[in-house]
Structure 1
Amino acid sequence: MSLVWLQVGQCGNQVGQEWWELLSGGASEADRYPYVSRNGIANAICVDSEPKVVRRVQRLAKNVSFRDSNLIVGRTGRGNNWAYGYSGVCVPPEESLLDRAMESFRREVERRDCYSGTVLLHSLCGGTGSGLGSRLCEEIRDAYPAGHILSVTVAPHDTGETPLQHYNSLLSLAWLQRYVDGVLLFQNDDVMRQATALSEKKTQTVSGVQPAVSLSAMNSHIASCLAGLLCPVQTLRTQSSVSLGMEPWELIRSLCPMPALKFLHTAQVCRRGTAFWDRVTSSLLQTIPRVSPDGRLHHSLSALAVVRSSQSHSFLASQDAVLGKLKQTYRCVPWNPSPVDCWIDTQNVLDPACRSHSLTVSANHSSAADLMIRVTRRAQAMYSARAYLHWYRRYGGEDEDFTAAFHTLHSVIEEYHQLGQA
């Protein structure tokens, strides 16, 4: 057991709740490794500045239990302020969330036969998810430099959720670029569109009326994408069908070969009945952003397709055509000799109770630059007007944090823009 699962903030724990419900609902013991030990205890730490969401995760997860010492909760929120979450300011005699979380993390690492890395769930928007999530990345990288860090990051709606979201996103994205190995980036607007499309197919709607999409449905879609990518696959098992639990780290090695480019776009399609893989692939590719707002064509450094189906034999017959279609639509760079990798499993953990199949594709895609451009432009406008900066200085935030973050994201944007230049 080599992995530590870390949920931070309200968003991270809500997505985590859907993940554990999916994993404990119909997944076999082999599919739950390395996230759940043989005695049913999750290899997870849940951290939040308020107890409500963490207690709900503990209560609703079936067939999975959590160590009480790994449920780290505070007494008050972090005011949607990155600096407040990052600094760990607390009122005595309350021990800081950071210290308590790192102590639980240390104990979890010591329980591992050989610690290999961390999967971190958090958001860019809230104070705990963005600020404390950034600090934990920094502390874990410093204490365990040989371990991988894979971040599952949720970006806020473009129309706005809090007045500080652009500052929080700017600083959090910069910290992720510095300290983690890969970022599975989910943007709320994209997740809502995909969840809406799923809802339209499952329910009969009144003409012209869009079905309401709940927060739970959006979180469930993110958790489904994670399960599609991170649950064990036959491709990475030994000849004796023992899972090595290497899915998160093989994903990083496959999709993030260049340290400067590590932000991943994920899409997924699930179907029941006979698998027509050409249709499944076409349906998935409709959700891929192909052009930036300024008309720049998007490109991919690399892509990974994960197929889960009892009808995997039918996929093998059309594998070359499917992967060729993915390579073309994702506009994989010509200088990467093997831009598309493929994993296959003969069971669909996302829908194990019926004849079903799924295709999950994650790509190191230049659409991440679109988010960074929006964030930096809006944060720069606020920063130039000196808006809200006193809220950050109150908790130790400095101008150097902002200027360094702007520089970091501008560098990443430029790297992604150069992808299409052969």
Structure 2
Amino acid sequence: MNNEIISVHLGQCGIQMGNSCWELFCLEHEIWPDGIGDMTDDCGDWGQQNTPEVFFHRTCCNRFVPRAIYVDLEPSVVDEVRMGQYRCLFNPQNLLSGEEDAANNFARGYHSLGKRIEERSVNRIRKMAEQCDGMSGFLLFHSFGGGTGSGFASRLMEKLRDLYPKTSILEFSVYPAPKICTAVVEPYNSVLVTHATIEHSDCSFIVDNEALYDICQRNLDVDLPSYRNLNRLVAQMASSVTASMRFSSVINVNLRDFQTNLVPYPRIHFPLVVSAPIMSAEKAYHEQLTTPEITNACFHPENQMVKCDPRRGKYMACCLLYRGDVVPKDVNEAIVSIKSKQNIQFADWCPTGFKVGINYQPPVAVPGGDLAKVIRSVCMMANTTSITEAWSRINHKFDLLFSKRAFVHWYVGEGMEEEDFLDAREDLAALEKDYEEAGRGYSEDFWIREERNRHRREENKKKRRRREKSTMTDSDLEDMQDFMASLDAKEARRLR
């Protein structure tokens, strides 16, 4: 079996997204919460090859174990998985937790606490990779605003890139929303993690909670959406992205295709994601949308999973992944209709081509959930310059905090320096500029700046490593104190 994918869930947000994802993946592959499969053969209901081995390792006793690792620096969220409905599904050795919370501090996740759990995490990932015949890549689920999701995710991603330099790394990341904030220091963490991972991630699908809240309230009639409601939307998105690798079809898409078709330049790898239709069971009872209708819905700003307006920017690439009762003829008609619209603009240097994937396996809905079961759906991933709205918002919030050096001492006390903040902010300003220039067409200045940025990042990385080598952790200090105490004891015995 080839194309295996290893999922890495980091921090509270990443783990809770993972819970919803594995709930859905088990339903799609007819696997019970204890890992026992219901499949009588390898073909799905629609005559398609069903290959759960992409996400699951099949044991000798015919149990399916997720190729997934859960990591958090404090135990409570991982303990919920250990004691929950799916406790028998996961390998207990892949559920890792520390003893202290990262306290929404990037530096604690990257430096002091992250060091303690890094080796265990990497060893478990290496063991899963060794079980694969032809690993396709990694999917990382995390938030940009939390301490573990930002700091430890950055540290682990650097390590994975060193160990697996040619393997795809894709992220499903929750980005800070414009008006909803879970921590005051979210802007710091977000800028630092973007700076730290920009050269290690191949493609990052970002969503924000405010956009997901609005979709739940408007489309699903949920007045007070919970995180479970939001995470189930993310799970549907992750399912659509990977469906072609798990269910064979006439037009397949794999992880490498996303990079080839969505990322025109390595740094510009933050596509918007939209799913359609998102509707409640009551609405689905009265209507079923056609292929052109669900395609048009993808280009409406209110359906975006990040708060920005694509009509203000230019598209550089677009990928449409269809599932269910969809025929190529209808898809072609829908795309012709989209191209004819004046408010959808592509960059001058980019041909108005759409990467299309069609999978006849219909989307699955969680029983008792808010999402209706539909006969067809589409997931759109589009690389557009309008994403700079998200960068610009977070940069502005960062500047407000950092101008007063607010909360910086918490980061410096955990092994960072003020210079790290300045480097990260400068890198995000360059990212904004990169997107703006991409919309106009690359100039010679762009390539000169890119080369300068690359050299600066390499120097910063060397500086960080030198600092880490010269910095003692608490455990190092304790070992040194024990060693000195033993020397004192020996000297006292000698004098006696």
- Asked whether the two chains share a fold, i.e. TM above 0.5, the reply is yes
For the residues of structure 1 that align with 2:290 and 2:182, how far apart are their CA atoms?
A: 40
Contact 1:24 1:64 in 2 (8 A): no
Alpha-carbon contact 2:363-2:375 (below 8 Å) kept = no
How far apart are 1:294 and its partner, in Å?
Answer: 11
- Kindly indicate whether the alpha-carbon contact (under 8 Å) linking 1:171 and 1:402 is maintained by their aligned counterparts in 2: yes
Structure 2 equivalent of residue 323 of structure 1: 335
User: Which residue of 2 is the match for residue 258 of structure 1?
Assistant: 265
Separation of aligned partners in 1, 2:436 and 2:118: 36
Q: Secondary structure at the match of 1:122?
A: strand
Whether contact under 8 Å (2:102, 2:113) holds in the other structure is no
1:421, distance to aligned residue in structure 2 (A): 1.8
2:320 aligned with 1:305:
yes
Give the distance between the partners of 2:268 and 2:338, measured in 1 at CA: 20
Task: Identify if the C-alpha distance between structure 1 residues 58 and 347 changes in structure 2 by more than 3 Å, giving closer, same or farther.
Answer: farther
Superposition pairs of residues 20-39 of structure 1, within 5 angstroms: 20-27=22-29, 30=50, 32-38=52-58, 39=63
Pair 1:293–1:47, CA change in 2 (3 A):
closer
**1:309-353: per-residue Cα shift (whole Å, max 9, x none)?**
1x223xx23222322344555522232235311100111233499
CA contact (8 A) 1:303 1:364 kept: yes
| Equivalent residue, structure 2, for 1:336 | 350
Q: Cα deviations across residues 187-224 of structure 1 (Å, max 9, x unaligned)?
A: 11111112222322xx7xxxxxxx11111101111111
TM-score, with length taken from structure 1:
0.86
Unaligned regions of 5+ residues in structure 1, if any? 204-210
> Equivalent residues in 2 for 1:389-404 (5 A)?
389-404=408-423
C-alpha contact (below 8 Å) 1:12/1:129 kept by paired residues: yes
Deviation at 1:41, TM superposition (A): 0.6
The number of aligned residues is 400
**Does the 8 Å CA contact 2:168/2:202 hold for their aligned counterparts?**
yes
Out of 377-386 and 39-48, give the one that drifted further.
377-386
Contact 2:275 2:303 in 1 (8 A): no
Displacement, 1:366? 2.0
Deviates more, 1:46-55 or 1:72-81: 46-55
RMSD, matched Cα: 2.9
Structure possessing the higher radius of gyration over alpha carbons: 2
SS at match of 1:331: coil
> How far is the alpha carbon of 1:301 from its aligned partner?
1.1
Give CA deviations for 1:218-261 in whole Å, capped at 9, x if unaligned. 11111111111122269x9488x9x8xx6333222221131120
CA 1:355–1:378: 2 relative to 1, 3 Å: closer
Q: Is this contact kept in 1: 2:27–2:364, CA < 8 A? A: no
- 1:269 alignment partner in structure 2: 276
Q: Which residue of 1 aligns with 2:362?
A: 348
Q: What percentage of aligned pairs have identical amino acids? A: 25
Select 1:224's aligned residue among 236, 239, 249: 236
SS in 2 for 1:178: coil
Structure 1: how far apart are the matches of 2:309 and 2:89? 48
- 1:190 maps to which residue? 211
Give the match's secondary structure for 1:46: strand
Quick one: which of 44, 53, 57 aligns to 2:77?
A: 53
Would the alpha carbon gap of residues 345 and 293 (structure 1) be closer, same or farther in structure 2, given more than 3 Å must change? closer
Find the aligned partners of 1:107 and 1:285 in 2 and give their Cα distance.
Answer: 42
Which residue does 1:150 correspond to in 2?
A: 170
Partner of 1:77: 101
**Unaligned residue ranges in structure 2 (runs of 5+):** 31-41, 43-49, 368-372, 442-496
Correspondence list, 1:107-118, <5 A: 107-118=127-138
